[in-house]
Structure 1
Amino acid sequence: MHRRSILSVGALALAAVLSATGMAQAKEWKSVTIATEGAYEPWNLTRPDGTLDGFEVELVKDLCARIKIECKLIPQDWDGMITSLNAGKFDMIMDALSITPERKEVIAFTAPYAATSAGFAALKSGDLANLAGTGTHVKLTGDAAHDKATVDALRAAIKGKTIGLQAATIYTKFIYDNFKDIADVREYKTSAERDLDLMAGRIDLAFDDTTYLAGAIAKPDNADMALAGPEIGGAIWGEGEGFGIRKSDPELKALFDPAIAAAIADGTVKRLSLKWLKVDVSP
């Protein structure tokens, strides 16, 4: 989610206008409404009884207790989440939201509470199970010359295949920039919908945050799914994942940044990420 961030030019422009028109006097926050997708397991998920749970849900409860502020979590579709934030429908976003230069043009962020890698998943029984680089970790910068060897090896293996990814995420640009000319790229409203098509053989590869993919692979229905190719980290994904806030609400950053720092320092972020994500994502 991990993960997540590229907006169209039109969406960026609209969000910027909404942000500018939403400027207000500094305020004292006693309660805050936080949007999450509730469908990006294990970062956030919705239980059968309708309650929200997951790594971010547990973490935000801890942070709000430290700050001594009332926090209300609400489910919100990923598509349009940033525009809705700037329109005032809620106060913050906590949804594996990557901190990127593009997003900083229209919203502000707290300090990051996580930093993760991304990668491909394929069927164990398929011909891409041993995709170039499987079992390795690489760091990409976004500079074509620096990243060339890794990307070229993947291009050679993926040529003519179909890649599925959730729409409007940080991974969209990476996939389109590097593979659109040699592979078919399909976008999905949710990662779960994409996973169904992978398991059914309608696409060859999924690309997503590796913590999300690890959770998906652990599900019985996805027993034939496995990570394929290298786990990709580094500056290409930005600074990490943080809360998204309106530029007109700097007080929220001032409130949450010290709590995030404390949760990282005392091991809370590590403990919760190991519980839910099976890896320490402390930034």
Structure 2
Amino acid sequence: MKKYLLSSALLALSTLVAMPAPAKEWKTATIALEGAYEPWNLTKPDGSMDGFEIDLAKDLCGRMKIECKFIAQDWDGMIAGLNGGKFDVIMDAMSITDDRKKQVSFSQPYAQTPAGFAGLKTGDLAKMDGTGTTVTLTGEAGHDKSTVEKMREALKGKTIGIQTATVYTKFVEENFKDIATITEYKTSGERDLDITGGRIDVGFDDDTYFTSAFSKSGNEQMTLLGAQIAGPIWGEGIGPAFRQSDNDLREMWDKAIGAAIADGTVKKLSLKWFKLDVTPVKGS
């Protein structure tokens, strides 16, 4: 009898130990953005932040009935800051990739955009092959080889500027490091200053960023160069990142993003900020 009681007690204890922790009741969430990647997010003269992701986050937080706070964070410290507990969500035009999934978790994406090169309208690359077209790359060397080879021919001996630690950094370094000089920058704005100043030949970035940057004073002489690149090479799309332990928060955002896509809010906000629809297309 004592053995039975002891076994029962141990079974009950093990059941208690194995029970998952109750889901956290999220009433507030702190969202990190650069505040310097216009039009995705930007900092206004009064210190407040604005942009596509700010508008979208406010809408999503309203749907989830939680209070959201925004803080500025340097891009290269985003994932470390999230996992270190400095904030709860990264919402900074972050592409969803397999490498990043090893460190953080993502909800469904809220945007998909192409990317490409940009430089001076008067530069010797102004008529780079493919300019004005969009190509789809998979990230598989065999499939993408002919397209990338044409770019390599045009950029041989040139200097390419890229913001550090982005999904685009890896693409540029893997495909052009052996034939061009790669210069990394803390922000895309710093890179653009070197393009307009003639210190580098081209930059590589998201199309929506460049089209906004071209309208700024001093950047009018810049333009897109060569074919713009879309497709699986950039991952599943752009979405918010969470600590891997915060599945409850991630699921809340996933549901809210789905609703914002379904009722046209994502399309409406993307047309407002980008002048084009960046709504993700499922299965693409």
What TM-score do the two structures reach when normalised by structure 1? 0.91
Correspondence for 1:173 among 170, 189, 192: 170
1:25 deviates by: 5.8
User: Contact 1:24 / 1:248 at 8 angstroms: preserved in 2?
Assistant: no
Deviation at 1:252, TM superposition (A): 0.9
Matched with 2:88 is 91
Match of 1:268 in 2: 265
Equivalent residue for 1:82, pick from 72, 79, 84: 79
2:242 to 241, 245, 250: 245
Look up the match of 1:117: 114
Query: 1:277 Cα shift?
Result: 1.2
Which position in structure 2 is the counterpart of 1:15? Answer: none
Unaligned runs of 5+ in 2: 1-19
Q: Measured at CA, do residues 232 and 94 of structure 1 come closer, stay the same or move farther in structure 2, by a change above 3 Å?
A: same
Which structure 2 residues correspond to residues 94-243 of structure 1 after superposition, within 5 A? 94-243=91-240
Any residues of structure 2 matched to 1:30-49 within 5 Å, and which? 30-49=27-46
Identity of aligned residues (%): 64
| Length, aligned pairs only | 261
AA aligned to 2:174 is D
Other structure's SS at 2:245 match = coil
Q: Given that residues 132 and 153 in structure 1 are in contact (C-alpha distance below 8 angstroms), is that contact kept between their aligned partners in structure 2?
A: yes
Q: Deviations over 1:107-149 (max 9, x none)?
A: 1011100011100001001111111110011000111110011
Q: Could you tell me how far apart the structure 1 residues matched to 2:205 and 2:185 are?
A: 12
Contact 1:33 1:91 in 2 (8 A): yes
Q: Distance in 2 between matches of 1:222 and 1:58?
A: 26
Q: Which amino acid aligns with 2:99?
A: E
1:209-263 Cα offsets, whole Å, 9 max, x none, are 0100110011131110000011100100000011110000001111111110111
Q: Is 2:253 the counterpart of 1:256?
A: yes
* Alpha-carbon RMSD: 1.1
Name the SS of the counterpart of 2:116 in structure 1: strand
Task: Say which structure, 1 or 2, has more relative contact order (CA 8 Å, 6+ apart).
Answer: 1
Structure 1 Cα separation of the partners of residues 193 and 181 of structure 2: 17
**Helix, strand or coil at the partner of 1:208:** strand
- Displacement, 1:26? 3.1
User: CA separation in 1, counterparts of 2:126 and 2:175?
Assistant: 20
Distance 1:61 1:193 in 2: 29
Question: Cα offset for 1:80?
Answer: 1.2
Q: Which residue of 2 aligns with 1:20?
A: none
Give distance in 2, aligned partners of 1:104 and 1:26: 22
Alpha-carbon distance in structure 1 between the residues aligned to 2:23 and 2:140: 39
Larger Rg: 2
SS of structure 2 residue aligned to 1:222: coil
Q: Where does residue 18 of structure 1 map in the other structure?
A: none
What is the one-letter code of the residue matched to 1:238? G
Structure 1 gaps, min length 5: 1-22
Supply the distance in 2 between the matched residues of 1:133 and 1:155 (Cα, whole angstroms): 13
